[in-house]
C-alpha cells in the first residue's frame, strides 16, 4: 500500500506538515478533495482530527480511506483541503489522469 504523504505527524519519516504546503489550481484541488472524500472507509480511528496548524483537536472523527492503491487518513484529507498540504506527486497525477 502507498501513502499520500510522508509527514511525521501522520507516522511518516518526512518533515512537518506545517512546513509543506503547495498551492494547486482550484479545479485540480477540488477534484482531489472530491476523490479523497468519496473513497471507502477501511478503518475507523477512536480519535478526532488534530489540526497541526492551529495545534488543537477538531470535533471531526478520524478514519482511514483507500482507493486500493493508496491509503490516507481523514486527518490528511482535512489538512490538504484546509491548508493545501503537499501530497505525493504520484498520487496527484493518478487522480488528475482519471
pLDDT digits (tens, 9 = 90+) for 3-47: 999 999 999 999 999 999 999 999 999 999 999 999 999 999 999
Confidence of residue 56 (pLDDT cuts 50, 70, 90): very high
Instruction: Supply the pLDDT for residue 31.
Output: 98
What range defines the domain where residue 9 resides? 2-96
Backbone angles phi, psi at 32, to 5 degrees: -70, -45
pLDDT band at 93 (very low <50, low <70, confident <90, very high): very high
Alpha-carbon separation of residue 24 from 6, 15, 18, 82 (angstroms): 19, 20, 17, 12
Over residues 69-89, the pLDDT tens digits come to 999 999 999 999 999 999 999
- Inter-CA distances, 28 with 12, 13, 16, 92, Å: 25, 27, 24, 9
Domains held by the chain: number: 1
Amino acid at each position: 500500500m502507498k501513502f499520500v504523504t510522508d509527514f511525521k505527524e501522520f507516522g511518516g519519516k518526512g518533515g512537518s506538515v506545517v512546513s509543506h504546503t503547495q498551492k494547486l489550481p482550484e479545479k485540480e484541488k477540488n477534484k482531489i478533495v472530491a476523490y479523497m472524500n468519496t473513497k471507502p472507509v477501511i478503518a475507523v480511528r477512536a480519535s478526532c482530527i488534530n489540526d497541526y496548524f492551529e495545534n488543537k483537536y477538531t470535533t471531526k472523527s478520524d478514519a482511514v480511506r483507500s482507493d486500493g492503491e493508496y491509503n490516507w487518513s481523514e486527518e490528511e484529507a482535512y489538512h490538504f483541503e484546509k491548508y493545501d498540504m503537499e501530497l505525493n506527486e504520484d498520487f496527484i497525477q493518478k487522480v488528475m489522469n482519471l
